[in-house]
Amino acid sequence: MQESPFPLNFDVIIVGSGAAGLYTALSLPNNFRIALVTKDKLKRGASDWAQGGIAAAINPDDSPLFHLQDTLKAGVGLCDTQAVKYLVENAAISIQSLLEMGVDFDRVKDDNNNIPHPLAMTLEAAHSFPRVLHAADTTGRAIVSILRQKVLDSPHIQVYEQAYALSLWLNESKNQCLGISLLYENQIRWLSAKAVILATGGGGQVFAQTTNPHVSTGDGVALAWRSGAILRDLEFVQFHPTALNMPNTPHFLISEAVRGEGAHLVDEEGKRFAFDYHEKGELAPRDVVSRAIYSHLHKTCKNPALGKVYLDLRPISPSRIEYRFPNIIDKCQQWGIDLFSQRIPVSPAAHYWMGGVCVNLQNQTSINGLYAIGETASTGVHGANRLASNSLLECVVFAENFRHLSLDSFSQPSITISNQQNIDDDWQEEMELISHIRASLPITMWEGAGICRTKEGLEKALHQIDNWRIQLETLSIYQFINNISSSHQYNLTSSQAQQQLKLATETINLLDVGYLILKSASFRTESRGGHYRLDYPHTDDNWQIHTLVKNNSWWQGN
């Protein structure tokens, strides 16, 4: 028997290191042995990119009831009222917790530029009151940087950076998750735990245009689906209307708060066209604004796919812009835009996935010992369309539930390494197909399941993905990933093999995510929230019900 160079047995394994994963790690009892697995460096994740803020009804003129009503309205009939009620009623407690940790939210300034006590709150689209707190325009980073340091300072939390969860380890007879297989430091090994928590974020990289970082490949949802967990509402994808659109630049998100502060959305002629599509213009719900841009470009551009509109910040005072949006100023300057005198070219991009692994108020999935949180989960809070700035709040509020996690009812196998296998396979020839799929899939998904969908477009994309999945299943690297034995430790003889396994794993996950979105979008024959079909353009009361998925079965349910 070979001794392992690092711990293999934990109380809890968390997969993912954004706000949801980090706050969860800190919320769990500190007598638990915790493994935090992140496939990149700990400093990277979608939460780092979150500019918009965190919503909470803490203004004396506001109330959790108003926040509840706004959230339910945005969710277009598909929110779980109990989940939303829990979110809004616990928001103030979570904000206080973040303040005590040291998160430096913006404060109200007086005429002398002094900063008195009151927290500054901004109005964002579809909110009836100013209730969104910010830390300049890098709120996610401000929160995550503090959480990250506290995790690193916690001796009971073991962090595994640049580590890939390949599969979940299940006891099928007990419907219980026992741990994960992990690709780490040129080895594949198993970690056991009484509970596994998926916090891997969304799957925005399945689309050609997305505000998500490169790590957002839907890993947690794909892992849960392949293990037989119930998923929910995967067709609902929020396309943020204003991502930077310039050649050879990332689709950097231009925060909704910019429009909340008074920026205008205009076309090439300078017309504020959004009012032609909704009475609230730029402050309509995100899906409405995204479709307004989509429709306007199709009316006014010869090639709508290459078209763009503009955000004009000049109606906002320069001092206000400097105070509220220093990061956006810096990013625009990097790409040659002086937003004080120039308009910012923008277009919609995939931003947030409302669907995910179905969980209850305690974050439990349909598999014993398996939990999900953050964008990976479907708590019922967001319904068909997320209300702006509710996502960071959801991460914190629902992570608080893990303070009361009991592991007494879960058994745990003790892992020992009984067999070692050296892997010297060279999968280089198979990488050409995998790289082709990885590059082509986001374009296929953007065309087939982007802002506006049709039966024909969905079926065409599904046909392509089915073909790719069939091709992948013939590859030896695919068969290796799907036949990893829990009695083995695998030693990779080259770093190249590790990189090949990473690329193949992410590509498999993205294909699964694409398949799930397309099938769910085909299943729902109406338009609602983040799901819009040109061939079924109206909301249908018969569809005010969730789309549920398990294995390859789709059905309507609560």
Q: How far apart are CA 280 and CA 284, in angstroms?
A: 5
* Assigned fold of 244-350: Flavocytochrome C3; Chain A, domain 1 (3.90.700)
Residue partners of 507: CB distance under 8 A and separation at least 6? 434, 437, 438, 441, 472
The 3-state DSSP class for residue 90 equals coil
More confident residue, 209 or 468: 468
pLDDT for 2: 44
- Known catalytic residue: 286? yes
pLDDT for 488: 85
Sorting pLDDT into bands at 50, 70 and 90, what band is 6?
Answer: low
The 3-state DSSP class for residue 214 equals coil
Residue partners of 51: CB distance under 8 A and separation at least 6? 137, 138, 139, 140, 253, 255, 257, 327, 328
pLDDT digits (tens, 9 = 90+) for 16-65: 999 999 999 999 999 999 999 999 888 655 444 555 689 999 998 999 99
Q: Give ranges for CATH 1.20.58.100 in the chain.
A: 420-557
Q: How far apart are CA 356 and CA 201, in angstroms?
A: 10
pLDDT for 3: 45
pLDDT digits (tens, 9 = 90+) for 233-271: 999 999 989 999 988 888 888 988 899 899 999 999 999
For the residues 167-173, what does the mean pLDDT come to? 93
CB atoms within 10 A of CB 300: 15
pLDDT digits (tens, 9 = 90+) for 121-141: 888 878 999 999 988 767 888
pLDDT over 90 for what percent of the chain?
A: 75
Of 1.10.3720.10, 3.90.1150.10, 3.30.365.10, 1.20.58.100, the CATH number of 420-557 is 1.20.58.100
> What letter would DSSP give residue 273?
G
Which pairing describes strands 344-353 and 231-232: parallel, antiparallel, or unpaired?
unpaired
**pLDDT higher than 80, residue 5:** no
Both structure tokens of 139: 């709120």
Counting beta carbons within 10 angstroms of the beta carbon of residue 73, is it exposed (0 to 12), middle (13 to 18) or buried (19 or more)?
middle
Q: Give ranges for CATH 3.90.700.10 in the chain.
A: 244-350
pLDDT digits (tens, 9 = 90+) for 198-207: 999 999 999 9
For the residues 379-386, what does the mean pLDDT come to? 96
Closest CA to 160 of 189, 194, 203: 189
The single residue of 148, 286, 453, 533 carrying the catalytic annotation is 286
434 neighbors 504 (Cβ within 8 angstroms)? yes
